[in-house]
Chains A and B, each alone.
Chain A
């Protein structure tokens, strides 16, 4: 995934000659097609890695939800379902604009691509902003483990919910949404970098690997949220 050319690189001396007419084709590839398929494969492997990374969190979630079903339902009631739903719509919307950005890059319409990237970033920032509002509410309620003195007192459907069980729910809530938000922040950073290259006209229908790769990453982050939303916000709402 190199972004520079290889003029200063002796190793390109042999291969470079054959590629002189093909800009942005790295020296160790024979064709744009090989380069694109390799980049896509690498990105998919990275996503496979990410799945297992979040997998550890989901394992913990399943175990503790199984152990403390009432506490999870009670604690979930303190999350704002309207903000959660709004954010789900925003994030899926950003996936749409990202997909359209990739499509524009495939067609070589760099200007359109750039605008869709900006739209994606705006939606991403909106999501993070809403998340910040939610986090602030939890801060005020003293529901963030380890940050303020965790406080919980509640009867839920006539059952006393122990403070520590609610604490575990919020521990997982902040670990999961925090890590998800971190992925979004990184994603927005990468989108900015991508926008820079789009503005400089770097991509062609032959070579838009970066746009495609970032798109895959963004969609993956969206998928994580698709699972997080019902698991965290929608427990025992009836």
Chain B
């Protein structure tokens, strides 16, 4: 099967991860600076405030990232289920047919198909002009549950 492009699959989640790392780093820097500044000086107070804000931001981003991860995992599980059900109901299919039948894009189902093949729930056979996806015995049992 063709390789997918290297563009990030979930750009918002990746941006959140980067921001979270930056916030953590800035928080550490402001802690160090606050320690160096004179006690009770306005600069030390400002740095202390910034450090609290950055820590809170980092935590919020972390929570959002976890929620996003959960949603993506749920969507993947749903797509897996739909693929297995479609193969059980209608028999072997071309990957493009599976993408359309599950209302997904080819690049969305490709990693899911590879996972299912790795778990031996489906087999991807070569045919002239493409590939054919079919359930294995294990996949049939899984889909029938």
Is chain B found bound to chain A in the same assembly? no
Write the residues of chain A forming the contact surface with B, with a CB cutoff of 8 angstroms.
none
Write the residues of chain B forming the contact surface with A, with a CB cutoff of 8 angstroms.
none
